[in-house]
Amino acid sequence: ASLLNRATGEVLATRSCLNPQRSYGADVISRIVACKEGRLGELCRLVRERVAEIIHAFSSEYPDKPEYLSVAGNTTMLHIFCGISPEGIGTYPFTPAFTERRDFDGASFGLPVSQVTVLPSAAAYIGSDITGGVYVSHMTRQSRPSVLMDIGTNGEIVLYTGSAGGMRLIAASAAAGPALEGANISCGTGGIPGAICRVGSSKDTPQILTYSTIGDLPPVGISGSGLVDLVAALLDMGVIDETGYMEDGSFSLCGAPQARGRQVSGVGGRLPRFEKIPHIELAQRDVREFQLAKSAIFSGLTSLLEQAGISIEDIEKIYIAGGLGYYLDTRNAVRTRLLPGVDSEKFCVLGNTSLAGAEACLSDSAALEQIADIARRCEVLDLNTLPHFSELFMENMRF
């Protein structure tokens, strides 16, 4: 969340937290199932109460009461936030109850604001986090093709075909699973303080890995970006082969006998040793979870390019969105075949474009209509209906 001065667009303060709905599952499908089982009211209450807490925290720091709330997110989360069942999103033909902009009175949501605006989505699995991301990336202003990739539980991908390709926006959602957000990984965690966010090695001691944590705190688990780095390092070390097989079955990074990692600060200086570091390791099943995620995303991108008749060499920019993007090392993402092997200058890491889109709608009167136009223009592909997607998926499981 951000607190904005609407007149200037200045961000006055920011806050973040883990989704309190995670007790009902790490992905939207689990939450849709929970809604089918009668838990919609509980899921709605959880997210609204947490939003209210954040607004009250902002109000305690600044004397002026916030008046407007702009909300972006995936389509399922927006339904739950609005108290509308997302059940139609969970089964074919994947029909959301709404995708257009919605405006509400804040009091009706139990929120201390005058008005709540929910940003427009494009489809069941292309939410306003993606339409807003396309807007803030300015990708449609370019003459050559470009791509936006939001790397998370659903790897949303949007291809802009450029002026020569008819200026089309073609979108797809790849069911990557929650591995890249730290879930379904034995020692995984979200991007919280203490999460291992970077892993690497030095030329002098290639068999000893170094790692950094968010906030330079004692490690509590490994985040999505740390997972990408660790898999890349273990591929280079030969611990993981091209099929994803680990002969030893696991690799201990820290917190246990024979652990082969040491912590360094984000600026490269050694940190003092911490007591009671938990055992953090990468297991064989974690590698398989990662392979499923990276193959879904890579195959989704390949499929979009094939459908548009565009080669990866034709792409001018690849914009990386999502929380993972803050710490993602694109070189390691290419090494693991999560991202395509293109010139590193083509990658542009944007971070949380969902939040940036919501911010834009508070300070720019034209932003909301332009995001709505992006949502209308998106041609959404169902990857599972494409003839070669299954073959691509199996092929791209390899490293």
pLDDT by residue (tens digit) across 172-219?
998 877 788 877 899 999 888 899 999 998 777 778 899 999 888 889
Its pTM stands at: 0.90
For residues 150 and 339, the answer to whether their CB atoms sit within 8 Å is no
Give pLDDT, residue 271.
58
For residues 174 and 154, the answer to whether their CB atoms sit within 8 Å is yes
**Quick one: pLDDT band at residue 33, thresholds 50, 70, 90?**
very high
Residue 147 token pair: 């791509």
What are 4's strand-pairing partners? 11
Give pLDDT, residue 268.
54
What are 210's strand-pairing partners? 200, 262
| Preceding amide of 66 cis, omega within 30 | no
End-to-end CA gap in the chain: 37
pLDDT in tens, 119-155: 999 999 999 999 999 999 999 998 999 999 998 777 8
Provide CB contacts within 8 A for 383, sequence distance 6+.
Answer: 172, 173, 174, 299, 300, 303, 389
- Residue 76 and residue 98: Cα distance in Å, rounded? 10
Assess whether pLDDT exceeds 60 at residue 229.
yes
For residues 225 and 327, the answer to whether their CB atoms sit within 8 Å is yes
Q: Containing H/E element for 12?
A: strand 11-14
For residues 363 and 154, the answer to whether their CB atoms sit within 8 Å is no
pLDDT in tens, 96-127: 999 999 999 999 999 999 999 999 999 999 99
pLDDT in tens, 42-73: 999 999 999 999 999 999 989 888 999 999 99
Look at the block and give the residue holding tokens 């959301």: 96
pLDDT in tens, 256-276: 878 898 888 655 555 556 667
Q: Which of 79-93, 188-202, 369-383 has the lowest mean pLDDT?
A: 188-202
The three-class DSSP label of residue 196 is strand
Give pLDDT, residue 269.
55
- Residue 327 and residue 176: Cα distance in Å, rounded? 19
